[in-house]
Chain A
Amino acid sequence: MTKGNIKTVALLAAALFFGSASAMAEETMGGWLGTFSHTSGVNPVSNRQYKEECGSCHFAYQPGLLPSKSWEKLLTAQGLHDHFGEVADLDKSTLDSIRDYVLANAAEKSYYKIARKITVATEDGEVPLRISEVRYIKRKHHGIPEKMIKDNKDVKSLSYCNACHTKAEQGIYKEDTVRIPNYPDY
């Protein structure tokens, strides 16, 4: 091996070493960023019972989408007996455990971005019972023409989150995950 060759090998080794070191740093950094950006949506539903009982009739709205005052009103035996015109009775123990889960994860209990914004935007004394009445959610959809939501036969209302938000189930509502049915270019 000549002197020049040794130099090249040493340089290569150094490059490899630093390369992998910086790749590692990036990974850790990315991991950290990943955890961080993970809190950008709303806390995904983690409770099997909630998913099963509520999600069998409609999109299982994340508890962080409504303040606890709203959930307290919705999740009573009486409230569920007339749940927007539907009979959604649950036995007492199921209702109790679902209510406990939801209240522990309601908007103001959550550190996720959407939940925090919903909390801040909800005015004192206001108790929205429908997702479509939540001030922050209404405001975020304000600029979208009616023909794309209300008059869109495959959407109809803000309450069908997953009609357009393709990752709604994971609690992700970012703009680049939105696909409006019948309006592919929007």
Chain B
Amino acid sequence: MNYKHALIFCASLAIAPLAFATPATDAEFAQFKTEGATKFSAEQGKQNWTKEVTSKEGDKRSCTSCHDADLTKPGKHNKTKKVIEPMAPSVNAERFTDQKKIEKWFKRNCEWTWGRECTAQEKGDFLKFLMGAK
């Protein structure tokens, strides 16, 4: 490896964490900020991902009721058993490329799982966590 290659290698390492950002995720983060969210934390998103909440019906629910805890693996709808493609953009390039779709699923899934809509901060934390998943 010569000097030039080493430089390219280091540069690609440096931009790797941003590799899965899309116009849709940029727009989402900008939107969350206008709604009062500040700094987004992948660590917080990770904690929320497995947080269990007891539903009105009495069962315990979390994101992992349907999505796999390993984000590079497909999940399964807990009722219909329909396969849900992996959340990690590292293995599923289609993820987080459509802002309308991201918002639709946040709305539905937050309401089902936690019984309420998620705040802009929570959504931003989730998105940051999911985008970096490997």
Contacts and interface: CB of A to CB of B under 8 A. Distances in A.
Chain A interface size range: 10 to 19
A36 B77 CA distance: 38
A9 interface: no
**Majority-rule SS of A interface residues:** loop
A124 interface: no
A58 interface: yes
A51 to B, nearest CB: 13
Interface string A73-100: 0000000000001111111000000000
B81 to A, nearest CB: 7
B80 A57 contact: yes
A91 B112 contact: no
A89 B108 CA distance: 6
A181 B6 CA distance: 55
Contacts of A56: 82
A90 B107 CA distance: 10
Interface size grouping (class) on chain B: 10 to 19
A89 B81 CA distance: 20
Contacts of B81: 160
Nearest to A52: B101
Contacts of A85: 57, 79
B39 interface: no
Contacts of B57: 85
B112 A87 contact: yes
Contact of A58 (B77, B104, B107, B109): B77
Interface centre among B80, B81, B107, B112 (most CB of A within 10 A): B80
Contacts of B112: 86-87
B130 to A, nearest CB: 17
A131 to B, nearest CB: 12
A24 B57 CA distance: 64
Given A85-B57, A86-B112, A91 B104 contact: yes
Interface of B: 57, 77, 79-82, 100, 104, 107-109, 111-112
Interface of A: 56-59, 85-91, 160
7 contacts: A57-B80, A59-B80, A59-B82, A86-B112, A88-B108, A89-B111, A91-B100
